[in-house]
Structure formats: structure tokens, C-alpha cells
Structure 1
Amino acid sequence: MQLSNYTKEFKKNLNIAFPVMMGQLGHVLVGLADNIMVGQLGAAPLAAVSLGNSLVFIALSIGIGFSFAITPLIAEADGANDIEKGRSFFQHGIVMCCLNGILLFLLLLACKPLLYHLGQPEEVVNLAMPYIDIVAFSLIPLMIFQAFKQFGDGLSQTKYAMYATIIANLVNVLFNYLLIYGVWIFPRLELEGAAIGTLISRVFMLFFLFYILKSKKKFATYFVWAKKSLQKKVFKRLWDLGFPTALQMLFEVGIFTASIFLAGTLGTNPQAANQVALNLSSMTFMIAVGIGVTATIRVGNQKGMGNFKELRRIAISTFLLVFFIEAIFAIGFILLKDLLPLIYIDNAEVIFLASQLLIVAALFQLSDGLQVVILGALRGLQDVRMPTMICFISYWIIGFPISYYLGKAEALGSMGIWLGLLAGLSASAIMLYIRFTYLSKKMIQHATIAPKM
């Protein structure tokens, strides 16, 4: 098949993906703004925010993983033009995400004391405790927002969540500034002010998206509460998709968190260099996340229509698109490896170490981008159990042991840690592609044979 058969889909793919990319980048940039503002208070408050967010982020990844179950089900129902089924998945998804938010909040409160047993400075842990309480509570409105966001994504309406996220990020920065430093009539709350700013922005984000979606005529039917009561079988369908997806995210978040701890064993400068390279690569990863959501939506639509040849062609177009985009970023990382670290720090050793890591990061841009988009396509097929196993094997059986053994000071140090990440992500991308190829060809074959029977 000619390359043009795939590249002609790039425009539509980008139209769907662009709002998701902007929303994700907004989260990264506001996190950067948070760090800069809290950093003005000193090293201990900044370390406390970093420690608190590392715990919250693990819970957040689990909740978002569950919410991802909504998108492929809505996309399939939309492709089949079955509004009743779509409404049922949407309304059950809201209940599921609300319960997840409450459970994650309680789980974080229960896990807080563990921070005192992880060898962290007591001053930092004490500062982190009230911060975690407030940010953990903000997971409740955030999870409900996720239900509305994934619903909109499933209907290919990704721009509304982008609007909500960008405006909420501005609200977050504003209230952080007012409450951290005590500007105008507001009290000086420092870290707790940063947490309250996060909570206010997430409540705002939820109500803003709810108002937009509910006011649009094309969504009106979905907001009419179904006559049938909540059904166990629908929750089971959401669980069967959501739980493995949550594990996928947990496995990936886990190995990157482990890389931070491994880098910390090498010293302050290697840990700082690791953080610089991770932050830069996380920004480019958000582009891939947007294309991954597009793959889920478009594959889910074609599955609903039963058009499996188109499904495979469109999915491959998303794989090629992310490969080309990440290749450009990879070249940029290599060419600018000595300049990009200067944005963060002027320490010569950190800059040198970070520049070396960016060479490896340039390579794993390709693997990381491909694996997240192929995962998105498999999610559109509602195939999540085998991909979960693939993620576990790739990151924890292949990637982590390499990071652990090559990441020792007497071996390759920071470079060894990142070679492990590269190995894990590459293994994931290859195995997931094999899985997608097998399933998509099998669907095409069955669809061809079925009419003859």
C-alpha cells in the first residue's frame, strides 16, 4: 500500500489530537510555574512539593487509567450510532470516576505516614503533609472532570476539555500567586496556598466543562438520565477495560519513578541531570499522548462500524504520524543537547550529564511515542489485558533490571539508567505492534470469511 494512503489521514488525526496535546502541555507548563513559585520559598518547600506530588501522581495515574475505559466504549457506540448505549456508558462512567476520586483521596490519606519511613528529611515530610491533604482532596473533582473529558474525547470532541484545562491552568497560576505569597487581601499560606490553588482550579475545570457540554444541543441526549437503574454488567465492562489500563499506567509511571530514586543514589548532580532530561522528554511525550487518544477514538469508531480494513489503515497512519513527529524531536535533542540544559541550571557537571542523557532520550522518543499510540489503538479495540502483561514484562522484567545493574556508579551511572528505560520502551513498542498486527489481521480475515458462511 502506498505511503499516501496513510499520510492523507494526518490532517484529521492532528485535528483530533491537537486539543489533547495542548491540554496535556498545559498541565506540564503549570507544573513548571508551580515549581518556580514555590521555589522562591526555599529548597525545603520545593522538595516538599516534589515529594507530595510523587505520591499524588501515582494515585492520579491509577484514576486516569480507569477513566480511559470510557473513551473506546463511547467511540464504538458513536461509530454504531447507538446513542442509548453511549449514554449508559457515559453515566456509569461518571459514577465510577466519582467513586474512584473518593477512594483515591482516602487511600492517599492512609498512605501519608509511609513518607516518614522512606529516609526523607523530616522537615520536608512535615511540610508535605498539609499540602498532600488538600491536593488529595482535589482528586475528587479531577476524576469527575476526567469522566466528562473522556466522554467528549470518545465523540471526537476534544477541544472543550482543552478550553477547560487551559483556563483552569491560568486560574491555578493566579491563585497560587495570591495565596502562596499573600498578595492583596489574601493570606500568605505558602505551600498550603499552592495546594488550595490546585483545588480551586480543578473545581473550576469540572464545572466549566460540565456547563459547556450540557449546553451543547448535540450532547443533550446523553445528559438525560437513563430510565434503567445503574447496571452491574455495565460497571463490569468499564472495570474490565479500566483496571488493566490503570495497571499499564502504574507500570510505566513506576519505572520512571524508580529511575529518579536510582539517580538519587548516584548523588545530587546526577539526580538533577536526570530531572532535566525527564522534564524535557515529558513535554515531547505529551504530543504522543494526544495522538494516542486519537488512535483510540478513530479505531473505536471503525470497530463500531465493523470496517476492519479501514481500522487497520487509520491506526497505522497514527503510528507513522507519531514516528515522524518524534523523529524531529529526536534530531532536535541531539543538535541542542548542550543548550537545552542551560534553561534549567548553570552547573557545568549537571549540564554535561544531562547532555549525555539527551542522546539516549532522543532515541527513546521514538519508542515511547510509538508504544503510547499503539496502546491507544489497542484500547480502541478494547484489548487491554495482553497489553498490560506486555507493559509489565517490558518495564519490569526487561527495562528495570538493565537500569539497576548498568545504573550503578561503577558501571555506566546515569547513562545506564536511561539505557534501561530505552530497552523497556523499545521492547514495549515492538511487542505491542506485533499484538496489534495480529488482532487487526485476524479481524479482517474473520470479516472476509463471515459473509461466505
Structure 2
Amino acid sequence: MDENAGGKQGRAWSAEWRAMLALAWPLVLTNLSQFALGLTDSVFLGRVGTLELAAATLGSNLYFAALAPTFGLALAAAPLCAQTRGRGRGHLRGMRRDVRAAFWAVAAGTLPTWVLLWNTEAVLLALGQEAALAALAAEYVRAMMWGMPLFCGFIVLRGFLAAEQRPNAALVVSGFGIALNIPLNYWLIHGGFGVPALGVAGAGLASALCNLAMLAGLVAMIARDRRLRRYHLFGRLWRFDAARLREVAAIGLPIAGAMALEIAVFSAAAIAMGWMGALAVAAHAIAVQVAAMTFMVPMGVGQAATARVGLATGAGRASAASRAGWVAIGFGAGFMAFAATLLLLAGGPIAWLFLDAANPGAAETAALATTLLLVAGLFQLADGVQAVAAGALRGLKDTRVPMLLAGLGYWVIGLPCGLALAFPGGLGPIGIWLGLAIGLFIVAGLMLARWVRLSRAGGLTTRRWPR
């Protein structure tokens, strides 16, 4: 009997590995596709000049910090839809309400964010940035900001599709977005066909247009799918659903808070780099782009964990929810161990991919970026574990405590350590990145401990929210 039970458990774990992989890899590739939009901007602008690359980096850091509240509300659609789908009964209407409320939440967060982004130059000047960098960064952000609600709408629909275990549509649309962004960047940055050269503003506009194309593409694919049409997701979007909107806010605002804390600590690091000059900002930009690219994999696995844990939790299957979370953490940790090895061994060649040797300061930028990539290699495993564990906790609708843990690790410990190492400690840019590494290790340990506690036998319960 024990042998039969062991075999059954083994089959359950094997089935979960296969299900997690089937859901995670399209989400990972979708994240990489979306990341490639910003990477394309950096590659094109890096070959225009170091000043342009530094300005776009400062601008994008502010943009993503400001985006976090609205993005977090959009991400709330995934655990909501997953648990609604897991319950089964009445899920068509329930998931439609989840998606509609998430759209309303995105709309509510957009206008105040736009006001902040429109004043990018003033914000950066107040933070002590050079006037030339602040002015160029404002050009980039003012063009890119119009795509923000479109991107968040895409995230809402992607969460719905993940709950349906149908992630491939978002992958196809994101691939189209990359293909479109490359010619748009070249055309709008350098000009042609009657359009003047827009420089950094052209890169921002290209990203906004790609976000429009991706949202439109995903809407069209859902509308054409016979199974997904049953949900009537876009019917009566104007109907205000106060109960469901409160639920989105209860789940999404802590997600937004945790994201804002993480994004803002990297933004604060970029601001600190700005105090050390454009070369330090450009090197930081390269290291951040590479670290962010590797992060897309555990981020996608974490999104799959949200869906898989949420489905099992909604159905009341605690052991399946625990199994899904641990499988996802194993996937994320395994990939990031590989990424760490790559960065430690090939940091120099990777840094030069972003630079033109003919540009002034390219050699110095590459040398500093290589060192920063070595530090990034040290914290890869921690970054992966904390991202996936956070995703698994979201599947339980456990978002408030993870937000507090992120605040402790990043802002109480990580950033102060980085500033102390950089300035009194005399390590400069390297000190900032060592502080980031310390913060990530702290957050990873805390998130993993939280998941261990909740995933013990009988520890996973479905949270009841007003329906």
C-alpha cells in the first residue's frame, strides 16, 4: 500500500513538472519578447551615443517605477482568474468580472501616472541629475508613456489566458511586437520616409506603438477563439463592479507595492549612478539590461506558479498547490544557476554587445559594466528564488506580507548597504551593486521562508473574498 502511495505521489510530481513546463515556457518567452522591446531601444540608442543610452536608462527607470502601481493592479487578474477557474462553478461570469474589474483598475491608475511621467525632466532635476540627461530622458518618457495603459491591458488578458492554461496567444503576439519594434526603432530614431529623426523620442514612440499592436492583436485572437469567446470578456466593459474592484485593489495594490519597492530600488541605484557621471549610468544600464533579461525566466515561471497554485487552491486541493509551488521554485533556481555561471564567465563579451568601440568612453564603460555583471552573477540564484516564491504566494492571494518583506530587504538593508559601500566605503558603482545583491539575498530568504510555512501540510487554504 505504501508502495502504491509512493508511486501515486511520484506520478503526481511528474505530472506537475510537465504541466508547469507546458505553461511556463510560453510565459517565459512572452516576457523575453516584452523585455526585447526595451533591449532594442538600448541597443539602438547605445550605438547613437553614451549620452542617449544614459538618458533612456534614467527615463526608463523612472517610467517603470511609476508604472508599478498600475502594473500591479493588472497582475491581480492572474490569481483572481485562476482561483475563479479552479472553483469551476460559475467561472464564465466570474472570470469576466475579474477581467473587467482589472481593466477598471488600470484605467484608474493611468491618469495620475501620466501626470508624473509628463514631468520627468523636473523630477530628475530635483533628484540631482544633469540637465542634459534630464531633458533627453523626458523626451524618451513623454513618447513612451502613451503605451503604458495598453501594456497593462495586455497583462490583464495574459493573466486570463494563463488561468485558462492557454499562454501561446500572448507569446505569438509578443513575437510580433519584437518584429515590429526593430524597424520602428530604426525608422523613428534615424528618420526617413518623410519623418524627421526623433532620436530618443523615436525609441519611446516605437515602444508605445508596439504596445498598441500587441494589445490589439491579443484582443483579436481572443475574439476569434471559439472557446474563449464564451467569456464575452469585452461585453459591457463600462459596467462598474465595486465589489470586484475592491478585490482587485486588495490583491493588486500589495503586488504593486512589492514591485514598486523592487523597481524603485534599482531606480534609486540608477539615480546614485547619475551622481557619478554618464559613464557610470551607461555601465549600470548594460548590467541592468542583462540582469533583467535573465530575470524574465523566473518571472515567467513565477507567473505560471501563480496560475497553477491558484487553480489548485481554488479547487481546494492543498497538496497540489504546494506541489506546484515547489516545482516552480525548482525550475527558477535551476535556470538562474546556469545564468550565474554564464555571467561570471562571459561578462566582458556580453558588455561589448551594447557598445560601439568607436564611441568616446566605450572602453571605460565596457570595463565597468563587466565588473557589475560579475556582481549580477553572484545574485542570480537569489533573484530567481524570490521571484518564483512571490509568484507562488500570489496564487494564494498572499500579497501583503511579501510586500513588507520586499520593503525590509531592499530598502532597510540593501540600498543603505549599497550607498555606504559606494560613498563612505569608496567602492563607487560596484558598492551600489553589492548592496543590491545583499538586498536580493535577504528578500529571497524571507520569501522562501514564507512559502515553506504556508506550504506545510494543511497550511494552504483558499482565501475567501466577496464574490
The residue aligned with 1:422 is 437
User: What are the residue-to-residue correspondences of 1:330-341 with 2, within 5 Å?
Assistant: 330-341=340-351
Q: Find the counterpart in structure 2 of residue 316 from structure 1.
A: 326
TM-fit CA distance, 1:124: 3.6
Structure 1 partner of 2:40? 33
The match for 1:55 among 59, 62, 67 is 62
TM-score (ref. length: structure 1): 0.89
| 1:206 counterpart letter in structure 2 | L
Whole-angstrom CA distance in 2 between matches of 1:228 and 1:28 = 31
1:260 is aligned to 270
TM alignment of 1:191-270, pairs within 5 A = 191-223=200-232, 225=235, 229-266=239-276, 269-270=279-280
Structure 1 pair 305–69 and aligned structure 2 pair: CA distance change class (3 A): same
Percent identical among aligned pairs is 28
Q: Does 1:66 align with 2:66?
A: no
Moved more, 376-385 or 353-362: 353-362
The code of the aligned residue for 1:107 comes to L
Give the Cα separation in 2 of the matches to 1:298 and 1:417.
36
Q: Write the distance in 2 (CA, Å) between the matches of 1:138 and 1:332.
A: 33
Q: CA deviation at 1:384?
A: 0.6
Cα contact 2:121–2:135 (8 A) shared by 1: no
Q: Can you give the 5+ residue segments of structure 2 that lack an aligned partner in the other structure?
A: 1-5, 463-467
TM-score by length of 2: 0.87
- Tell me whether 1:279 sits opposite 2:294 in the alignment: no
Is 8-17 or 149-158 further displaced after alignment? 8-17
Match of 1:451 in 2: none
Aligned partners of 2:99 and 2:156 also within 8 Å: yes
Distance 1:3 1:404, change over 3 A: farther
Of 96, 102, 109, the residue aligned with 1:87 is: 96
1:329 pairs with 2:336? no
The separation in 2 between residues aligned to 1:216 and 1:326, in whole angstroms, is 35
Change (3 A) 1:378 1:64: same
Secondary structure, counterpart of 2:197 in structure 1: coil
Match of 1:432 in 2: 447
1:97 aligns with 2:137: no
Task: State the alpha-carbon separation in 2 of the partners of residues 338 and 38 from structure 1.
Answer: 20
SS of structure 2 residue aligned to 1:9: helix
Give the counterpart of 1:182 among 191, 194, 202.
191
Find the counterpart in structure 1 of residue 404 from structure 2.
389
1:111 Cα deviation from its structure 2 partner? 5.4
Distance 1:404 1:312, change over 3 A: same
Q: 1:135 maps to what in 2?
A: 144
5+ unaligned residues in a row in structure 1: which ranges? 448-453
- Give 1:292 shift: 0.5
For 1:282, give the aligned amino acid. A
Of the candidates 100, 122, 125, which is equivalent to residue 116 of structure 1?
Answer: 125
Change in CA separation of 1:190 and 1:399 when aligned onto 2, cut-off 3 Å: closer
Of 280-289 and 118-127, deviating more is 118-127
Counterpart check, 1:13 vs 2:20: yes
| Aligned-pair CA distance for 1:185 | 4.0
For residues 126 and 353 of structure 1, the distance between their equivalents in structure 2, rounded to whole angstroms, comes to 25
Tell me, in whole angstroms, the C-alpha distance in 2 between the residues paired with 1:438 and 1:194: 45
What is the Cα deviation at residue 3 of structure 1?
A: 8.6
Single out whichever of 347-356 and 293-302 deviates more from structure 2: 347-356
Mean CA deviation greater in 187-196 or 305-314: 187-196
